[in-house]
């Protein structure tokens, strides 16, 4: 049954449906940051490209909420909330687990984050 869900996600994505990542905060045994990383890995496992996986967590949710010109993108005038990573997640999603800095509203957090949750897979 689980394999079927992965296939459905891939078919939706291939048909142009924007697939969005999101966690069910408050649900039992879910931690918002870690479970989002796990969800991104599952989207990759479903066959989405790394670019589509990243868009599922950034651009598509921002557009859905009517914030596509201000959020979910890196551009002048956009809200500057982002992660600075050691490596390129377009090459390997596991790079999302090696967070170097966190920028919120254009400011680097005082306490640098040296590593994020370890994703169990990803390409």
Q: Is the residue at 86 inside a domain? A: yes
Residue pair 87/50 in contact (Cβ under 8 Å)? The answer is no
Q: Is the residue at 40 inside a domain? A: yes
Q: Is the residue at 21 inside a domain? A: yes
What residues make up the domain containing 6?
Answer: 2-108
Looking at the structure of the chain, the number of domains it has is 1
Residue pair 117/93 in contact (Cβ under 8 Å)? The answer is no
The predicted model scores a pTM of 0.79
Q: Give me the residues paired with residue 83 across strands.
A: 102
Q: Within 13 Å and on the Cβ side, how many CA atoms surround 25?
A: 5
pLDDT in tens, 47-101: 999 999 999 999 998 898 898 888 888 888 888 788 889 999 999 999 998 888 8
């Amino acid at each position: 049954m689980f394999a079927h869900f992965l296939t459905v996600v891939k078919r939706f994505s291939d048909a142009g449906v924007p697939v969005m990542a999101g966690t069910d905060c408050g649900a039992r045994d879910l931690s918002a940051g870690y479970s989002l990383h796990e969800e991104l890995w599952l989207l990759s496992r479903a066959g989405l490209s790394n670019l589509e996986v990243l868009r599922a967590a950034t651009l598509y949710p921002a557009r859905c909420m009517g914030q596509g010109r201000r959020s979910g993108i890196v551009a002048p005038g956009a809200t500057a909330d982002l992660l600075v990573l050691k490596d390129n997640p377009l090459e390997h999603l596991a790079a999302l687990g090696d967070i170097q800095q966190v920028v919120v509203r254009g400011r680097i957090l005082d306490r640098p984050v040296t590593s994020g949750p370890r994703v169990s897979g990803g390409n």
